[in-house]
Structure 1
Amino acid sequence: MTRMCAHKPPSRCGRQRGAVALIFGLMLAVLLGFAGLVIDLGRFFVIKSELQNAVDACALAAVSQLRPGQNNPGALTNAVAYGRVFSTGGVEDPDSTPLVGNIDAIKNRINFQSTVMDIPASQIMFSDTLDGVYLPAGSANPNTASFVRCTFPLNNLPIYFMRLLSPLLDKQTVSAMATAGLGQSQAACGLPLGVCKAPGGTAGNHFGLTKGQWLIQPSGPGSTYGTGNFGWIDFTPPTGGASELSAMLQGTAQCGIALADEVGQSGAMNSLDVAWNTRFGLYKSGGGNPKADTSPPDLTGYTYTQATWPLGANAYAGSVAGQFNYQNAAANLRPYQLSPPNPYFKLSSGAHNVFGRTRRLTVAPVVDCAVWNASGSANPAVDGWACVLMLNPLLTNADTPTLEFLGLSTDPGSPCATNGEPGGSGPLVPQLVQ
């Protein structure tokens, strides 16, 4: 450069000095801008996706506990607990450290899976209509709330590159929101219990059954099925059996069942008593038997028989002097009110609080049991979906399993919500609507 400028005026030579540095500075600013767009915005996009997954899970879990029209005072409390469990591990105090809860239950971490999303109860809100006013659980009406909205803002996220261009670009907030309601499904999950419809019964008349009616098994082997009966069914004929049914009772039932699917007859299954009783918080001592942490109970073990509920109907929401109906028993975490025979033991109210879920309210297929009464190998098809309440445990050979019919699970406000693929005419399932 010195030689080239030797024969040029100093002013012209001076103007050439620093040109490369100036261009480099301009290009560096452009490169930092592109780096900010790629790295900072890309990072925020990942965090936004994590947040969205978390609030989606919150809304779907929470709405599964809504019971509009059922006068269930504990519905919103249960909904909040379900909404928080996947992000907080079940910790009830929003100010406490989530990691003191059930770490295995935390499924939705954020900020590249480094942070537990401690969603407070105040950010799980309820509304009677999709476009209505959303209120916290303490202000919403549990008898009319039909939609859940979960929101969560992640504040003060540092901006790494773009803040080099401007000191104002220092922190960023990323938020997500999800709204869920209950809608009919294409297919659903149900217990292996076939509710017998009345002759000529259709979905329009609840298949000839009455809400609050008690349903029993036929009196013994070889007995015919009729209206007011139910029977064990095989969802995968002829390969099912007692072990398959036992696993369903202890787990989440059979999923993917659709209308018109054929089901087989399993008859009386006396070996299912241990699995059945887990839903009442009654467990058999000894190795190899179900445990509360893997075969969870219902929120209550309160039993209903002619001896404890002389009304013989409407145990879900009815009234008998000195007794709790199911709604009240579940809200108060009432354990089994009698002393079980050895080798069974019953869970305490506190254990129902820790392990309990809604396990005795369940979906059951409605079938034409007359097909089973006829000779031959024909199997009935699923004609509809009943919502039933499991009434009593099976602790002696004389005990007969009894169900209470609570209407169709496709009815608006049905207390039975299940899992399944939305978009059809099946039972009500949680689904995202916004």
Structure 2
Amino acid sequence: MQPIKSCHSQRGAVVVLMAVAMGALILTAGMALDMGHVFLNKTRLQNTVDAAALAAAKTLDDTGNTGLATAEALQAFGDNASASGNGELGDAYGAGNGSIQVTIEYSETLPPFAAGAANGPYVRVRATGFVMPAWLVRAGGIFQKTVAAAAVAGPRTLNVGSTVCNVAPMMVCGNAGGPGYFGYTPNSAVVLKKSTPGGQSAVGPGNFQLIQLGGPGAAIVRENMAGSYGACLTGGSTIQTQTGNEAGPVAQGLNTRFGQYNGPMNGQQATYPPDVIVDAQTPALRAVQNGTGYDVYQGNLLITPSNIDVLYNYQDYMNDLRNPGTYDYQPINEGGIGAFERRVLAVPVGNCDGTVNGQGSVPLLGFACFFLLQPAEQQGNDSFVYGQFVSDCAVTGTPGPNPVAGTGPHIIQLYDDPASNDS
């Protein structure tokens, strides 16, 4: 006869199996919960370094100063780490005194990101050492998890096919097949808006190089010149021109960028801040008609790219931006009322081969960047707007399908960092 097995021994085996199964279940559930916890905080850390990289790249683009950019990155990282819902991240960072270490590097190229560049323009923010305790997987011998994150940010040129916003309500004429950039030479002084009544115009009679953004009318011109334009233009479309000189509204709006608030702009500093630097020209510039265009003079001196250094020019401006001690108005983010690069405009470039009598459509070739050399006069015959053609400027917008590096307006955006598994 076979021996009869004890029910007690069978129950003991079941207890062991249940204990093993329960342990495995707890470990699996613990890993799921802990990994969800890790993933959540990894996402919070990535969002924080993304914000820090964008802040640093924007400040570097505005000022050219990596010291200011680094300070802005650390400020942005700290502000986001201490934000509501980021308790563990904030504790781990501890205003720079916790386990998280933040490093900020600059590169002249991308790709590759070659750390060590003195002036960027690309910036990488990397955060390491974010340690989180395990909750339910300690039984499996896992007591903590450490994560890191990295982000790279920098400029991206908006070329043909891109949509550009924050453009100035003026138009310059260009040549699609001309030398340089639509025929413009770097550092050349350009009349962005003509003024002489009855004078010749490359666009057509009655046209003073103004364009419609959001509709016609003096009030809209004034606010658009000050910077309220929300309309966007896309390369390859057309520009709707506007008839009339509108000398008063042009000067009242444009000159807010120089800290001058006249007429309806009085008291509008909060809405339309001045540039941090408002240095202009002494003596003032004047325009002399040359065919359908204008030459720019200071006194009897014709201003050219080779002698533009006699003026307060874009290079002087950028040098001063690196030194906060030269600012006429302190930046808004430091308790002042000034804003960076209010004097740098993205201006539509049109194909003016056809004639447009006052109002009409002009083919849009692209966009060019200009530094405002001085405030505009509010008198009809003297209300020219003068700009220096520069290689790039910051705007908002959407890149085209084949973005490339080059001359023209750009946005600041995030990039993948192929050298890092953390971005």
TM-score, normalised by the number of residues in structure 2: 0.71
Over 3 Å counting, the alpha-carbon distance change for 1:15 and 1:150 in structure 2 is same
Residue in 2 that maps onto 1:183: 156
1:196 corresponds to which of 172, 175, 197: 172
CA distance in 2, matches of 1:376, 1:285: 26
What is the one-letter code of the residue matched to 2:342? R
Residue in 2 that maps onto 1:172: 145
CA distance in 1, matches of 2:118, 2:71: 17
Whether the 8 Å CA contact 1:389–1:406 is kept in 2: the answer is yes
**Does 1:74 find its partner at 2:69?**
no
CA displacement, residues 179-238 of structure 1 (integer Å, 9 cap, x when unaligned): 23433332222423434225x5536432333322223322245544349x97331135xx
Residue in 1 that maps onto 2:108: 128
Residue in 2 that maps onto 1:280: 258
Shift, 1:44, TM fit: 1.9
Over 3 Å counting, the alpha-carbon distance change for 1:288 and 1:50 in structure 2 is farther
SS in 2 for 1:157: strand
SS in 1 for 2:40: helix
**Does 1:258 find its partner at 2:234?**
yes
**Does 1:296 find its partner at 2:273?**
yes
Q: How many residues align?
A: 378
SS in 2 for 1:416: strand
SS in 2 for 1:212: coil
CA displacement, residues 2-53 of structure 1 (integer Å, 9 cap, x when unaligned): xxxxxx97x8355235444423322222222222232211222222223223
CA distance in 1, matches of 2:104, 2:164: 26
CA displacement, residues 361-388 of structure 1 (integer Å, 9 cap, x when unaligned): 22111113465x5337531121121110
CA distance in 1, matches of 2:22, 2:101: 46
CA distance in 2, matches of 1:391, 1:59: 31
CA distance in 2, matches of 1:391, 1:45: 51
CA displacement, residues 40-84 of structure 1 (integer Å, 9 cap, x when unaligned): 1122222222322333333344334556xxxx9834235435545
Stretches of structure 1 that go unaligned for 5 or more consecutive residues are 1-7, 91-97, 100-105, 337-346, 408-413
Residue in 2 that maps onto 1:30: 24
Residue in 1 that maps onto 2:368: 386
What is the one-letter code of the residue matched to 1:175? A
Whether the 8 Å CA contact 1:55–1:177 is kept in 2: the answer is yes
Residue in 1 that maps onto 2:309: 319
Taking the TM superposition and a 5 Å limit, the aligned residue runs for 1:199-210 are 200=175, 202=177, 204-210=179-185
CA displacement, residues 86-143 of structure 1 (integer Å, 9 cap, x when unaligned): 44459xxxxxxx87xxxxxx7x9746897797689962211122324313xxxx322x
What is the one-letter code of the residue matched to 2:194? P
CA distance in 2, matches of 1:30, 1:321: 77
CA distance in 1, matches of 2:181, 2:370: 13
SS in 2 for 1:207: coil
Residue in 1 that maps onto 2:421: none
CA distance in 1, matches of 2:150, 2:108: 18
Over 3 Å counting, the alpha-carbon distance change for 1:43 and 1:245 in structure 2 is farther
1:51 corresponds to which of 31, 35, 45: 45
Residue in 1 that maps onto 2:394: 417
Whether the 8 Å CA contact 1:187–1:255 is kept in 2: the answer is no
Whether the 8 Å CA contact 1:297–1:352 is kept in 2: the answer is no
Residue in 2 that maps onto 1:410: none
Taking the TM superposition and a 5 Å limit, the aligned residue runs for 1:4-403 are 12-64=6-58, 74-81=64-71, 83-84=73-74, 86-89=76-79, 110=86, 123-129=103-109, 130-135=111-116, 140-142=117-119, 145-153=120-128, 155-166=130-141, 169-185=142-158, 186-197=162-173, 200=175, 202=177, 204-216=179-191, 217-221=193-197, 223-226=199-202, 231-236=209-214, 239-251=215-227, 253-254=229-230, 256-266=232-242, 267-269=244-246, 270-283=248-261, 289-292=267-270, 294-304=271-281, 306-307=283-284, 313=303, 319-320=309-310, 325-333=316-324, 348-349=329-330, 354=336, 355-369=338-352, 371=354, 374-375=356-357, 377-394=359-376, 397=379, 400=383, 402-403=385-386
Over 3 Å counting, the alpha-carbon distance change for 1:196 and 1:157 in structure 2 is same
Whether the 8 Å CA contact 2:347–2:369 is kept in 1: the answer is yes
Shift, 1:357, TM fit: 2.0
Over 3 Å counting, the alpha-carbon distance change for 1:321 and 1:284 in structure 2 is closer
Q: What percent identity do the matched residue pairs reach?
A: 25
Whether the 8 Å CA contact 1:189–1:419 is kept in 2: the answer is yes
Stretches of structure 2 that go unaligned for 5 or more consecutive residues are 286-297, 417-423
Whether the 8 Å CA contact 1:147–1:180 is kept in 2: the answer is yes
CA distance in 2, matches of 1:286, 1:116: 51
SS in 2 for 1:374: coil
Over 3 Å counting, the alpha-carbon distance change for 1:125 and 1:190 in structure 2 is same
Over 3 Å counting, the alpha-carbon distance change for 1:26 and 1:74 in structure 2 is same
What is the one-letter code of the residue matched to 2:350? V
CA displacement, residues 224-257 of structure 1 (integer Å, 9 cap, x when unaligned): 4349x97331135xx3544445554555744642
Over 3 Å counting, the alpha-carbon distance change for 1:281 and 1:288 in structure 2 is closer
Residue in 2 that maps onto 1:339: none
TM-score, normalised by the number of residues in structure 1: 0.70
With 126-135 and 279-288 compared, the bigger mean Cα shift is at 279-288
Root mean square deviation of aligned Cα: 4.3
Higher relative contact order (CA 8 A, sep 6+): 2
